[in-house]
Amino acid sequence: MIRHFLHSLTLDRAAVADWNVHPFSVPAIRQLKTLELHPKVTFFVGENGSGKSTLLESIAEKLGFRAAGGSRVQSLYKHDYTSPLTPHISLSRTSNRPMDGFFLRAESFYNWATELDELEATPFCGGVLNSYGGKSLHAQSHGESFLNLLTQRIDGHGIYLFDEPEAALSPQRQLSMLVRLHDLVDEFSQFIIATHSPLIMAYPDAWIYQFTAEGIQRIAYEDTEHYQITRSFMRDHKVMMKRLLRREDELDLGA
């Protein structure tokens, strides 16, 4: 059985009018052609500004989410921004159709929580918070609200896009997220996740795409900078810190 909804994405390069305009000027986007997606979990990794969130945003918009995040139903309420990259992206889909979906953006989760409160207070829309722990997300910690989203709002048999979910989660909660993610994968779900977390990107058998100045390349977990730096730090954090924070008397002040 085919266990995914998206095969790949393609950038219509011939339709790009100016490669010197953002986001087409971003090296990873500039070199993008076709990117195959894992049937279960795909990770986008790279430095800030490398284009991973930009591409994730365009995929989300193509799927019917709005750039600010949320569910597709909620997306009907506001359409205040469209990425200039989105019209140039096409998605190759399977015959399967997702029954659920969500686009999580850590940077705009506060706005999403506010919209839910507004909906809860709107006639005929009460009860929406039942899918998020039964109370306002503003009355929960960031981590609690995100885990309630995972365990109570997200039902499976869907496609889910997460942009830096680790921003809300402690290391222990990131491990809890992986357990829930695995349950959802078993419930016919597909994930595309942009992350900096070496814990989250360790999910087994996932594809990891690294966004660099040389383009977008699929990479093994152990070859990611995130893994290597974390491993080096944990192996001997005192040596690492000494190198990073050199004492004044060790500095060559005449250099």
- The tens place of each residue's pLDDT in the chain, 255 residues long, gives 456 899 999 999 999 999 999 999 999 999 999 999 999 999 999 999 999 999 999 999 999 988 777 777 654 345 556 889 999 999 999 999 999 999 988 665 656 566 665 655 566 555 665 666 666 656 556 667 788 778 878 888 999 999 999 988 899 999 999 999 999 999 999 999 999 999 999 999 999 999 999 999 999 999 999 999 999 999 999 888 888 887 544 555 444
The candidate with the shortest Cα–Cα distance to 212, out of 58, 41, 28, is: 28
Torsion of CA 220, 224, 227, 232, to 10 degrees: 120
Greatest Cα pair distance, the chain, in angstroms, is 72
Six-digit token string for 104: 């999580």
Relative orientation angle of helices 225-235 and 237-244, to the nearest 10 degrees: 110
Please tell me the number of Cα atoms within 13 Å of 73 on its side-chain side: 8
Beta bridge partners of 101: 159
Give the Cα separation of 112 and 137 in Å (integer). Answer: 9
β pairing state of 41-46 and 190-194: parallel
pLDDT digits (tens, 9 = 90+) for 40-93: 999 999 999 999 999 999 999 999 988 777 777 654 345 556 889 999 999 999
* Fold entry, domain 6-109+149-224: Rossmann fold (3.40.50)
β-pairing verdict for 215-219 and 89-93: unpaired
The pair of structure tokens assigned to 217 is 């390349």
pLDDT at 73: 60
CB 229 within 8 A of CB 254: no
